[in-house]
Amino acid sequence: MSKPWRGVLYAVLLIAAVYYLLPLYVMLSTSLKTMDEIRGGNLLSLPGAISFDAWRKAWGTACTGIECSGLSGYFWNSVRMVIPAVLISTALGALNGYVLSKWRFRGSELAFAMLLFGLYIPFQVLLLPMAQTLGWFGLARSMAGLVFVHVVCGIAGTTLFFRNFYVGIPDELIKAARLDGAGFWRIFLRIVLPMSLPILMVTLIWQFTQIWNDFLFGLVFSSGESQPITVGLNNLANTSTSVKEYNVNMAAALIAALPTIAVYVLAGKYFVRGLAAGAVKG
């Protein structure tokens, strides 16, 4: 690429970066201002004097009774929800993908097609049957029920990722391991799983982002002390107080977004590398 065109490309990329980072800048600068400065200042202006009062108020205290004051209780609810949901759905997706790609059985293609069909069902359609299922299991409006919902809804996507990745592993490798006497679990744990690091990072990041940012299931299938941070953020933004505290709302939104931002900053390159390694092939 010639130098003039390279300069144009860099300029376009710079403009795009500014465009996407501007809302983040506005949120951060607003969260560090006082309400008096927000009312009398410019939206894009830097804080005159940095104040963390809005952050302290947004974080608040832990859950007590049936409500949470601030986001701290909701935040830890999301942590307790997202860790088991991500690990279980990823583990089941890896196992399903391994079976559907290397240990095919009669009807395996139909089973895979049904899993894919589940990806195209709107979540709103699942609310009533899922609520009935949680009621039968005694998990309604509980943290365990919320984890169950996310695991069930995440299996189809994780299975697709792993199945398409495992298709690229040579069948001869699996056959050689069988000839050496290795069984189902030994091949999976000793050979296939260690080769799965790229797609494992893809599914972990994907599932973490989807579950952490979910609002619909958190609103419908949780209550009181089991509500996740997205519900807490909605409650805080729609508080019944007469004064709209924009700095507190911006600080709360950043607190809710920090885990996913951190995940992408620390592991984003593995996400791209995993996709390139075969997450969408097959």
pLDDT in tens, 218-258: 999 988 888 999 999 998 888 756 678 889 999 999 999 99
Asked if 164 and 34 sit in the same domain, the reply is no
**Same structural domain for residues 220 and 146?**
yes
List Cα–Cα distances, 132 to 14, 135, 222, in angstroms: 50, 5, 14
Of 240, 261, 232, nearest in space to 58 by CA: 232
Contact 232, 71 (CB under 8 A): yes
Same domain, 69 and 203: yes
10 and 98 in a single domain? The answer is: no
Would residue 58 count as lying in a domain? no
Same-domain check for residues 10 and 147: no
Separation of CA 84 from chain center: 13
Q: How confident is the model at residue 277 (pLDDT cuts 50, 70, 90)?
A: low
Asked whether residue 132 falls in the same domain as residue 258, the answer is yes
pTM for the full model? 0.86
| 56 inside domain | no
The pLDDT of residue 104: 79
pLDDT surpassing 70 at residue 143: yes
Q: With beta carbons less than 8 A apart as the criterion, state whether 68 and 79 touch.
A: no
Same structural domain, 108 and 26: no
Same structural domain, 47 and 67: no
CATH number, domain with residue 158 = 1.10.3720.10
- Angle subtended by helix axes 72-102 and 246-274, to nearest 10: 20
- The boundaries of the domain holding residue 192 are 63-279
In eight-state DSSP terms, residue 238 is T
11 with 79, same domain?
no
Can you count the helices (H) and strands (E) in the chain?
13, 2
Residue 278 has a pLDDT of 54
Judgement on whether residues 114 and 27 belong to the same structural domain of the protein? no
Q: Give the phi and the psi of residue 64 in degrees, each rounded to 5.
A: -135, 130
pLDDT given at position 85: 96
- Proportion of the chain above pLDDT 90, given as a percent: 50
155 and 35, same structural domain? no
- Is 193 a member of any domain? yes
- For residue 160, what are the CA distances in angstroms to 6, 58, 249? 38, 38, 37
Let me know if residue 57 belongs to a domain. Answer: no
Q: 19 or 273: which carries more pLDDT confidence?
A: 19
Nearest to 210 by CA among 81, 92, 68: 81
262 vs 11, 233, 247, CA distance in Å?
A: 27, 19, 22
Q: Would you say 231 and 68 are in contact if contact means Cβ atoms under 8 Å apart? A: no
Could you tell me if 33 and 135 lie in one domain?
no
- The terminus-to-terminus CA distance of the chain in angstroms comes to 33
Q: Distance (Å, rounded) from C-alpha 258 to C-alpha 265?
A: 10
CA-closest candidate to residue 276, choices 166, 159, 165: 165
Please check the confidence at residue 119 and state whether its pLDDT lies above 50.
yes
The rounded percent of the chain whose pLDDT value lies above 70 is 90
Number of domains in the chain: 2
How do 63-64 and 67-68 pair as beta strands?
Answer: antiparallel
Quote the radius of gyration of the chain (alpha carbons, Å): 23
Distance CA 195, CA 158 (A): 16
